[in-house]
Amino acid sequence: MTDQPQPQALRAELLAVALEAAQRAGTFLRDGRPEDLGVAATKSSAVDVVTEMDIASEKLITDFLADRRPGDGVLGEEGASTEGTTGVQWVIDPIDGTVNYLYGRPDWSVSIAARKDGETVVGVVGAPMRGETYRAVLGEGAYVNDRPARTRTAPPFEQALVGTGFGYIAARRAHQAEIARQLIPRVRDIRRGGSAAIDLCDVAVGRLDAYYERGLNPWDFAAGELIAREAGALTGGRPGQAPSGELTIAAPPGLFEQLQGFLDEQGAWHD
């Protein structure tokens, strides 16, 4: 006999913890946003910002996880990093879409993923200003609130609505703008929402046909990528590779391959 939880029971526990953590952080961020919110620090450039609420939200989440799941590892955008002893690692973005949040725009989210032995098994993205929470467990499908989430059927490439994002380093942005310039005449249109986690969830629920971006960190895409995949999307980077900081793509079968081929040919995976 073993006292280790079986995979299904463990994943159910991780989902419940992630949902509660995202709900607590989302409520705190929505209801506690100061009117005079300002920049607390910058990261890759002067326009890549961190607010005091990013820092406070990450502490709220990590304190909650330490109480509910002591021994788990944590990787957070604002510096939380512990190895853990259980084989579970939490990957956290306390505010995905910080610039949107700073400006009072609604497209920001709390992204929480749980990895077991390196594989993402649970993903939760809370979007409080939308009144929506997206969730997925590996092999069990994706949901928005309590409704099943499904991607759109792949349209012809020229009819695709494609989401993307841009980095905060000037040279990278210039190259990303050139990729977008090449793509725009070939598709229905592009959108730039400002939260990678929400963009991936928008693919999952059919508000975007596809999404791509270079320069993401694990906390940007860990939860949303699982949600998109469980909703029926294919996800990846360059051909034959997993999503990464080099390139992250999500789209339904049929569109994914065309978009991936175009982006690889155009060199969207490098600056």
pLDDT of residue 39 exceeding 90, the answer is no
Of residues 36 and 235, the one with the higher pLDDT is 235
- Residue type at 174 in one-letter notation: A
> 83-107 b/e with 16+ CB inside 10 Å = b?
eeeeebbbbbbbbbbbbbbbeeeeb
Q: What is the pLDDT of residue 156?
A: 98
- The DSSP symbol for 141 reads -
CATH classification for the domain delimited by 7-148, as one of 3.30.540.10, 3.30.70.20, 3.30.70.3040, 3.40.50.150: 3.30.540.10
pLDDT of residue 2 exceeding 60, the answer is no
CA proximity to 18, closest of 93, 71, 82: 93
Q: Note the CATH architecture for domain 157-266.
A: 3-Layer(aba) Sandwich (3.40)
Please list the residues that pair with 148 across neighbouring strands.
Answer: 143
Mean of the per-residue pLDDT values for the chain?
Answer: 95
Cα three-residue angle 139-253-194, rounded to 5 degrees: 80
Phi-psi sector, 244: left (phi>0), alpha (psi -120 to 50), beta: beta
Mean pLDDT for the stretch of residues 80-95: 94
Q: What is the pLDDT of residue 48?
A: 63
- pLDDT tens, position by position, 188-203: 999 999 999 999 999 9
Q: What is the pLDDT of residue 36?
A: 86
Q: What is the pLDDT of residue 81?
A: 87
- pLDDT tens, position by position, 144-168: 999 999 999 999 999 999 999 999 9
Q: Are 203 and 175 in contact (CB under 8 A)?
A: no
Q: The sheet that has 88-96: what strands, in order across it?
A: 81-82, 73-76, 88-96, 109-116, 119-127, 132-137, 142-144, 147-148
Q: What is the pLDDT of residue 41?
A: 78
Mean pLDDT for the stretch of residues 162-191: 96
- Residue type at 226 in one-letter notation: L
CA distances from 44 to 169, 171, 188, 194, 197 (A): 7, 12, 32, 16, 20
Q: What is the pLDDT of residue 1?
A: 43
DSSP string, 180-227: HHHHGGGSSEEEE-S-HHHHHHHHHHTS-SEEEESS--HHHHHHHHHH
CA proximity to 260, closest of 245, 231, 240: 240
- pLDDT tens, position by position, 42-84: 777 776 668 899 999 999 999 999 999 999 999 998 887 899 9
Torsion of CA 202, 204, 206, 211, to 10 degrees: 60
pLDDT of residue 18 exceeding 50, the answer is yes
Q: Are 249 and 256 in contact (CB under 8 A)?
A: yes
- pLDDT tens, position by position, 106-122: 999 999 999 999 999 99
Domain residue ranges in the chain: 7-148, 157-266
Does the global pTM surpass 0.85? yes
What whole-number distance in Å separates Cα of residue 144 and Cα of residue 133?
Answer: 6
pLDDT of residue 256 exceeding 50, the answer is yes
